[in-house]
Structure 1
Amino acid sequence: MNDQIPVKNIPTVKIHKPEPSKQSDAYTPRSHIYVRAVQGPLELFRRFFGLIFVGIFAILPWLTYDGHQAILFDLYEQRFNLFSLTLWPQDLTLLALILIVSAYGLFFVTTFAGRVWCGFMCPQTTWTFIYIWFEEKIEGSRNKRIKLDERPMDFDKFWRKSLKHFAWIMVALLTSLTFVGYFTPISELFVDFFTWQASGMAIGTVIFFTICTYGNAGWMREIMCTHMCPYARFQSVMFDKDTLIVAYDAKRGEGRGPRSRKMDAETRKEKGLGDCVDCNLCVQVCPTGIDIRNGLQYECISCGKCVDACNETMDKMGYEKDLISFTSEHKLKGEKTHILRPKLVGYAVVMLIMTVLLGVQLANRPALDMDVIRDRNTLYRETSDGLIENVYTLKIMNRTQTEKTYRIEVDGLKDLKITGKTKITLAGGEILALPISVAADAWDLKAINDLVIRVVDVNDSDSVAEEDTKFLFH
């Protein structure tokens, strides 16, 4: 028996690396994408929707409710004001439920209609298109912007670039001031910032978010969507073959190629031409610089600009619209799109359950809260008139936004005596630490006695906070 293992000589495989000079850098992260303007119903809707979104963002912090800023996330005071609702750190479950409902709402919409959040509501997309609008108004159309960047610096190029960046910085500054205004009183912020009376923290925060907005919307743009945003990476988990996506109908469009408008269908068929005239407009209008004809790509944000651009070309050629459209993989294959499906229904059911739980939590949320803290230095003490006394600190919180008057009650002991305030008034959102002492005759006491301390709204007997505690003796 031969113990030798046969050896086979394998020839070395030569690896052919691509030559950098022959590689296009059209879609590399640092390439500048010159987005072409487009008109159409989807673009009009996106602009209208974006205008509403920006308007809501800009107006909300200026609204007042009952004498205070309607929406204020006051981190210093550790409370969030949402019109008549005030949330405290103790309301963490409410915040968790709000985030869960928002997450499942996003999952539901994505499963049904793809990345419409990215294309129509995402702040990164909205502000990027605002910045592109300033580019078009100051530097001109796509071709003019390309030629302008290729030119050496002259006075015309200098003033156009300077004006564009000045406009970008102003938009970024107003955006930053508005955003910070959600966390500090906005009317004071605007006055104090421009008069340099604001705190160093406020000024530093505004400058930081100004730089972020200017960099993200002005310079990084599609890099945020394609390389930094995690949503672009995990969206495929929620997609299925019935999800609405922006897609190119390859069966109808291929083969591509230019042709005369007068060319009839028979001639096109003989030459093997589909409906795609290879005008490349779908690539030129894409804010992430992709070619949708290459299939679904994670860079696509479903803004629909390529749909409008293609439909405009189809109109000019006299062809049927929607060569590129919001459709599903099943529909592209000639199959039926199923709207109701287990995944979509599952997201809807979970979102509904979480919404109901949130509503129940809000409805049962107490307007008054209290904690009782016993004095740990002394278990008990004897007063000058022979009574046994225990000392407590009541931490009372008025969770409403209006002034309230409360009454302090204590039950559980015979002929007890309370020393301290038994009637207090708290402003909206105020927290008060109130020391009281409770005394009783030693003959009526055991070593450990049950005690109930209660705080009652004098104008609303249903608003009550009570806590069981112990009265100690011996």
Structure 2
Amino acid sequence: MSDKIPTRDVTPNSQGHDARRGKAPHEPATQEMYARRRHIYVREIKGLFQRLRRSTNWLLMLAFFGLPWVQWGDRPLIWFDLPSREFHLFAATFYPQEFMLLSWLLIICAFGLFFITVFAGRVWCGYTCPQSVWTFLYIWVEHRLEGPRNRRIKLDRAPLSADKAWRKTGKHVIWLAIAAATGITFVGYFTPIRELVVDLPTLEAHGWSYFWVGFFTLFTYLNAGWLREQVCIYMCPYARFQSVMFDDDTLIVSYDAARGEPRGPRKRSLSHEAARTAGYGDCIDCDLCVQVCPTGIDIREGLQYECITCAACIDACDSVMDKMGYPRGLIRYTTENALEGKPTHILRPRLLGYLTALLMMIGLFAWAVADRSLVGLDIERERGQLYQMTQEGRVSNVYTLRVRNLDRQDHDYRLAVSGLPGLSLDTQTLSVPAGESRLEVIEITADPEVLDQPSHAIQLHLQSQQNDSISLESETRFLGDVRR
């Protein structure tokens, strides 16, 4: 028989559960802020949701480790070039002046997470969260080297031997190798990875590269190899605030107590109908759902914030139901309303609100990116004086221009002004290297006879001589005396 993991009943109606199981009711346990660490030996399980999770995990890791190696022309496909203050994402290059686009993108991600949480709970945590992805990878390595759950328990309890030493050493060596590859890959998004992997062993890389590779190597090894569920339970803020986003129609992993209780072991030969007649529920109390849980909870005790919705307990329970000849779905994706026999409302106001906001922001963001200008222009009037008269008797206004070239090639810009008859510019062209900005002080003059009010709106036009599609127009004010 497999060892059972001791669990703590955290549900407010635990006395009712004990009564149904024929046990004496007890007082609810006081939950501590931080419980003593109990090592969790996760049992490996196969099933539909685990195949889906593993496929998703491998695809995400393939994307993470592979994208820095993909080239786009003469540069990496994704490259956050901090020294040059350029952020290359596929065919586009962004600059710090466009930081609002990044903020916008982060807001879109936040609303996407809110929408997913309201709809399907912590499904993000179970299938795509980096902490879960790397933890499951480390557990997979552990299974390959140390064997199934029961064998790992016996191995840890056994005295040190040659077999135990090489298995433990091999596991940690592979863990460290995965962590080092993770650290190098992460830094590879900021330093071209093809050069980085050559410079690191020859000690020619920048000092900060060694620091960050070491930093992410250490924390990947600690978080995925040692802390594991502690990160999800105590360190992740999402685990704490996601519960306020749940409602009775949120899709969650739940145990059907009405069908499963009273639980208890029975002979495998006992049919479903006979078990029901004998007063048994469908749960045979095998604890397999607890043994496969990466956070060590008992899903039968109700919804708990530690649950990351990985659905391992669903696959485990379904496999037991198949062996017993019972219907599947004792543990399943469902809602609180469905468990209580009430109708589930998929399209509800809060979910539709998040979806509408999310789609609107995605649409506006796509439009902003597609319509982004490859040149920026800021105009500031000279603060020392409003205007002055030239020797030729014309009214002069002085402005400071900041022209930003947001393209990946150098540009020469033609500068023109309009808005009043006879306006004159002392600067006609500006040259700005790719990805840089230039400050230029210009003087605009006008005939005082055309000024019929103290302030006039004028327009400055910027046009690239290399690319006619790159142009910009900005408005400012021209000041002067009214002569008539």
TM bracket (short chain): 0.7 to 0.9
SS at match of 1:246: strand
Give the structure 2 partner of residue 188 of structure 1: 195
Is 1:368 matched up with 2:368? no
Residues 104-113 or 210-219, more deviating: 104-113
Is 1:307 matched up with 2:333? no
Give the direction of change, closer, same or farther, for the CA distance of 1:38–1:432 in structure 2 (3 Å limit).
Answer: same
Please give the per-residue CA displacement for 1:367-413, whole angstroms capped at 9, x wherever unaligned: 21022456668999999999998765532212233443422234557
Give the drift of 1:435. 5.2
Aligned counterparts of 1:271 and 1:447: Cα–Cα separation in 2: 98
Aligned counterparts of 1:413 and 1:171: Cα–Cα separation in 2: 69
2:417–2:425 contact (8 Å) kept in structure 1: no
Give the structure 1 partner of residue 436 of structure 2: 430
Is 1:53 matched up with 2:37? no
Give the direction of change, closer, same or farther, for the CA distance of 1:315–1:425 in structure 2 (3 Å limit).
Answer: same
Give the structure 1 partner of residue 281 of structure 2: 274
1:407–1:424 contact (8 Å) kept in structure 2: no
Aligned counterparts of 1:76 and 1:392: Cα–Cα separation in 2: 30
SS at match of 2:84: coil
Aligned counterparts of 1:423 and 1:295: Cα–Cα separation in 2: 68
Please give the per-residue CA displacement for 1:91-135, whole angstroms capped at 9, x wherever unaligned: 343223222221121111111111110000000000000000111
SS at match of 1:406: strand
Give the structure 2 partner of residue 70 of structure 1: 77
Aligned counterparts of 2:369 and 2:179: Cα–Cα separation in 1: 36
Q: Which of 224, 234, 239 matches 1:217? A: 224
Give the drift of 1:224. 0.6
Give the drift of 1:150. 1.0
TM norm structure 2? 0.83
Aligned counterparts of 2:403 and 2:88: Cα–Cα separation in 1: 19
Give the structure 2 partner of residue 161 of structure 1: 168
One-letter amino acid of the structure 1 residue matched with residue 424 of structure 2: L
Give the direction of change, closer, same or farther, for the CA distance of 1:415–1:400 in structure 2 (3 Å limit).
Answer: closer
Residues 67-76 or 215-224, more deviating: 67-76
Q: Which of 252, 262, 265 matches 1:245? A: 252
Give the direction of change, closer, same or farther, for the CA distance of 1:265–1:366 in structure 2 (3 Å limit).
Answer: closer
Give the direction of change, closer, same or farther, for the CA distance of 1:122–1:204 in structure 2 (3 Å limit).
Answer: same
Q: Which of 472, 475, 482 matches 1:464? A: 472
Is 1:206 matched up with 2:213? yes
SS at match of 1:227: helix
Give the direction of change, closer, same or farther, for the CA distance of 1:439–1:426 in structure 2 (3 Å limit).
Answer: same
Give the direction of change, closer, same or farther, for the CA distance of 1:449–1:36 in structure 2 (3 Å limit).
Answer: same
Please give the per-residue CA displacement for 1:152-207, whole angstroms capped at 9, x wherever unaligned: 22222222111111111111111111112222333222222222211111211111
One-letter amino acid of the structure 1 residue matched with residue 119 of structure 2: F
One-letter amino acid of the structure 2 residue matched with residue 169 of structure 1: L
Unaligned runs of 5+ in 2: 1-25
Give the direction of change, closer, same or farther, for the CA distance of 1:469–1:62 in structure 2 (3 Å limit).
Answer: farther
Give the direction of change, closer, same or farther, for the CA distance of 1:444–1:270 in structure 2 (3 Å limit).
Answer: closer
Residues 458-467 or 143-152, more deviating: 458-467
1:114–1:302 contact (8 Å) kept in structure 2: yes
Give the direction of change, closer, same or farther, for the CA distance of 1:276–1:445 in structure 2 (3 Å limit).
Answer: closer
One-letter amino acid of the structure 1 residue matched with residue 305 of structure 2: Y
Give the structure 1 partner of residue 323 of structure 2: 316
Unaligned runs of 5+ in 1: 1-17
Give the drift of 1:37. 0.5
1:49–1:120 contact (8 Å) kept in structure 2: yes
Identity among equivalent positions (%) equals 49
Q: Where does 1:76-225 land on structure 2 (aligned, <5 Å)?
A: 76-225=83-232
Give the direction of change, closer, same or farther, for the CA distance of 1:242–1:472 in structure 2 (3 Å limit).
Answer: same
Give the drift of 1:58. 1.7
Aligned counterparts of 1:470 and 1:388: Cα–Cα separation in 2: 9
Give the structure 2 partner of residue 12 of structure 1: none
Is 1:234 matched up with 2:208? no
Q: How many residues align?
A: 449
1:417–1:440 contact (8 Å) kept in structure 2: no
One-letter amino acid of the structure 2 residue matched with residue 174 of structure 1: A
Aligned counterparts of 1:344 and 1:393: Cα–Cα separation in 2: 49
Aligned counterparts of 2:235 and 2:371: Cα–Cα separation in 1: 40
Q: Which of 397, 402, 413 matches 1:406? A: 413
Give the drift of 1:446. 11
CA RMSD of aligned residues (A): 3.2
Aligned counterparts of 2:116 and 2:425: Cα–Cα separation in 1: 61
Give the drift of 1:29. 4.8
One-letter amino acid of the structure 2 residue matched with residue 460 of structure 1: D
Give the direction of change, closer, same or farther, for the CA distance of 1:382–1:46 in structure 2 (3 Å limit).
Answer: same
Give the direction of change, closer, same or farther, for the CA distance of 1:387–1:354 in structure 2 (3 Å limit).
Answer: closer
Give the structure 1 partner of residue 301 of structure 2: 294
One-letter amino acid of the structure 2 residue matched with residue 209 of structure 1: F
Please give the per-residue CA displacement for 1:313-364, whole angstroms capped at 9, x wherever unaligned: 1111111111111111122222322211112111111212222322332243
Give the direction of change, closer, same or farther, for the CA distance of 1:76–1:413 in structure 2 (3 Å limit).
Answer: farther
Residues 206-215 or 366-375, more deviating: 366-375
Q: Where does 1:329-348 land on structure 2 (aligned, <5 Å)?
A: 329-348=336-355
Q: Which of 335, 352, 364 matches 1:328? A: 335
Give the structure 2 partner of residue 3 of structure 1: none
Aligned counterparts of 1:311 and 1:159: Cα–Cα separation in 2: 36
One-letter amino acid of the structure 1 residue matched with residue 474 of structure 2: E
Give the drift of 1:86. 3.0
